[in-house]
Amino acid sequence: MKSKRKLMYGLLPILFAGGIGMYLYMQNNKEAEVKPQTTVNQYIEHLQKKEFDQLYTLMTSASLQESGMNKEQFVEKYNAIYSGMEVSTVKAEVKPVDVAETASDGSKTDAEKQNPDAYEVDYNLQLTTFLGEVSETHTLKLVRQELEDGRKNWQINWQPSLILNDMVKGSKVRVRTLFPDRGDIVDRDGLPLATKGTMNEWGIVPEKLGDNPDQMIARIAGHYQVSEDAIQKALAQTWVKPEYFVPIGSTEEFDVPESLSGVTMQSKEIRYYPLGEAAAHLIGYVRKATKEDLDKDTEGYYRAEDWIGKAGLEQSMEKQLRGERGGLIEITDESGNSRSELIRKDAVDGQNVQLTISSKQQKKLYQTLSSGGDAGAMVLMNPTDGNLLALVSAPSYNPNKMVTGLTQAEWDAYSANEKLPFINRVTTRYAPGSTFKAITAAAGLMEKVTTADKTHDISGLQWRKDDSWGGYYVKRVKSLSPVNMVDALVYSDNIYFAMEAIEMGSAKFIDGIQKFGFGDNFGLNELYLKPSQYANEAHLDLSSEVLLADTSYGQGEMLMSPIHLASSFTPFINEGKLVKPVLIEGKESTDPEVIITPEAANTVKDALGEVVSRQGGTAHTLNSIPGGLAGKTGTAELKAKKGEKGEKGQENGFFVVFDTDSPTFLLSAVIEEVNGRGGSHYVVDKLKPFLEKLEITQ
């Protein structure tokens, strides 16, 4: 008995040790309990990386079944919403658990004890969209699920509100662009030069074309002067349905002929230019952005449906006029009704731009210039404050057609026009011809070389300094001797001013003329105005006496824009002050600068008055117009090389004119190809009816 007891007591320690070992073995080999935080962390990681296919695997099958989405639909929904909102970054962060919700000893809370298979956690979500930051707080609801192999795992009950808080089953996210109103361009009186308008747009409803659609399309194409192919391509677009209206083109008609089945008309808002051709080069036009525009868009603003300035002020002032696009991201119900706005950025309308231009004078001056099919430019300005009252260029084009779309026939007509209607001649630089003699006279007076009564004895119609000029001669039209400065301006004598320039020498001559605005674009960046030049870069010193002589009467390598030509005459009206041209109301401008003495200015002005008043003066035909007109004519001949023999080159006629009694206007004009039409006299005669009726209000 004792031996049995001893045996039992001996075995007890062994059995106890074995039990402890087995327990430890089982504990060590038991799979660690899965924590809900593991699933939460996976969810946060996949969401931030936009790995929506991985998110799907974390959801309970019951909640996914309730949503009615398979994996492909689930991923597609997330991708569609995030791409529509242009979500660039996703930040998700679990909110810290309130200390009050956790037992002081770290044990489970009452809620967890009540339902150990459920777990909730809040997290902050921040989405960076194309409109800005969207921040929300979401709640993840997890349940412990038993897997097929008997293991347990924590999974998430998916709800649409996990995408965005206000989403429910059937909800969608709608992204809308809020477009700004483009700023108007208006004249000095507030009258529109570029504004909102409407057009008649015609299109086709395919199901209404009748029994023979192809035959009807041919008839429609003939009526609206478009190709059948263009109509067929429009109708073949992927979005077209039989009952849809398919826009084709614009028309000035208001009614559809009864014979054209399937054609429908509707009104459409567009950019409108009230002055049409009269202000086309100044104002420009807008067109739909092209692929080239989008490629050049470094700031990423434009989209394919946007309008963009393509010429004139519409192009150069695009940023001010276009405004800033806004947007709206909203959540809708299944029927498309808005449930809530997620984020809104209101559009900022474009700025209105007011010009110094007078619509009345712009129209009248354009009609004057364009009559007879002439090519050229005219600039009307107020010489005392620099305000530009009219800037016209001809031939022109219809900017409204550029917006609504040119027919092939219209485009072909513009392309075939040898006078190049799309060139803005207001900013084109020309050799100004004899109009420049007024500036040479002023330079001579300032350098104490020229005086009003200084004479040269000149015989014949041509002159050269000496044999060093070879076969080159300066020529004049009228034989007169002796000739003083006033005579030379009145009769436009090239030889007199060539002699004066040679006597001054290149250094004094250059110093005298540069003050008149050479090298300056007067801040007219909106017009893309290039500064004028008195010579090419290689010959700025005018070391050649032949070139110096030619430059003195506006030939040689001199190039001036009609705008600069007008401005260069302002010192003769303003006691020697150069007044720079102004186009934009309210834009900061520089004060007039005194460049010559009042005595020199008045001497030239008086001589220019005799160009009109003296019998035989080159602008004497205007003497009957009241107001004390003064001016200077000029004709410039274009040749490939100086002294070229044979057929004469193209001649451009110039005229600069202003009133002297109470200065209200100054007008510079150039008309191309006046060969055989009287040269500059053709320009004077053409302007006479305009000047007779001209009334300028200050």
106-128 pLDDT, tens digit each: 455 554 556 889 999 999 999 99
Q: CA 566, CA 580: separation in Å to the nearest integer?
A: 9
Exposed e or buried b for every residue in 160-192, given b needs 16+ CB within 10 A? bebbbbbbeeebbbebeeebbebbbbbbbeeeb
* Among 157, 81, 143, CA closest to 115: 143
Q: Please tell me the predicted confidence (pLDDT) of residue 409.
A: 82
- Whether 681 shows a pLDDT value over 70: the answer reads yes
Q: How far apart are CA 614 and CA 478, in angstroms?
A: 15
CB 680 within 8 A of CB 634: yes
Q: What local confidence, expressed as pLDDT, does residue 47 receive?
A: 97
- Please enumerate in sequence order all residues whose Cβ is within 8 A of that of 516, keeping only pairs 6 or more positions apart, or say none: 439, 442, 568, 571, 578, 595
Q: Is the pLDDT of residue 185 over 90?
A: yes
Rounded to whole angstroms, the Cα distance separating 512 from 413 reads 46
Name the catalytic one among 171, 370, 434, 492.
434
How much is the mean pLDDT over the chain? 91
pLDDT of residue 9: 54
Calculate mean pLDDT across residues 13-42. 64
Cα–Cα distance between 698 and 687 in angstroms, integer? 21
Question: Average pLDDT of 60-71?
Answer: 94
Is the pLDDT at 132 greater than 60, yes or no? Answer: yes
Window from 27-31, 70-74, 269-273 with minimum mean pLDDT: 27-31
The secondary structure element, H or E, covering residue 628 is: none
Predicted confidence (pLDDT) per residue in 42-64, tens digit: 999 999 999 999 999 999 999 99
Confidence (pLDDT) at 30: 47
pLDDT for position 145 = 87
Amino acid at 574: N
Q: Biggest alpha carbon distance in the chain?
A: 167
What local confidence, expressed as pLDDT, does residue 100 receive?
Answer: 45
Q: How confident is the model at residue 104 (pLDDT cuts 50, 70, 90)?
A: very low
Whether the per-residue pLDDT at 502 is higher than 70: the answer is: yes
Tokens 């349940």 locate to 143
User: In whole angstroms, how far apart are CA 168 and each of 47, 84, 160?
Assistant: 19, 18, 5
Indicate whether 490 pLDDT > 90.
Answer: yes
Catalytic site residue 552?
no
- Give CA–CA dist 40/325, Å, rounded: 39
What was the pLDDT predicted at 190?
A: 97
Indicate whether this model's pTM tops 0.85: no
Weakest mean pLDDT among 54-68, 106-120, 172-186, 584-598: 106-120
Window from 49-63, 91-105, 164-178, 375-389 with minimum mean pLDDT? 91-105
Look at residue 530 and give its three-state secondary structure: coil
Helix H or strand E segment including 692: helix 680-693
| Residue 31 pLDDT greater than 80, yes or no | no
pLDDT of amino acid 116: 86
Rounded average pLDDT over 318-342: 94
Q: How far apart are CA 626 and CA 606, in angstroms?
A: 16
* Encoded tokens for 346: 């209101």
Asked if 561 and 532 count as a contact pair (C-beta separation under 8 A), the reply is yes
**What pLDDT does 14 receive?**
54
Answer with the residue of higher pLDDT: 643 or 86. 86
The full DSSP string for 153-203 is: EEEE---GGGTSTT--TT-EEEEEEEPPPPPPEE-TTS-EEEEEEEEEEEE
Q: Output the pLDDT for position 32.
A: 56
pLDDT band at 25 (very low <50, low <70, confident <90, very high): very low
CA angle 466, 468, 471 (to 5 degrees): 85
Find residue 483's DSSP bridge partners.
456
pLDDT of residue 115: 81
Give the integer Cα–Cα distance in Å for 548 and 354. 42
d(CA 279, CA 389): 12
Using one digit for the tens of pLDDT, what is the confidence trace for 408-451? 788 889 999 999 999 999 999 999 999 999 999 999 999 999 99
Q: What is the DSSP letter of 143?
A: E
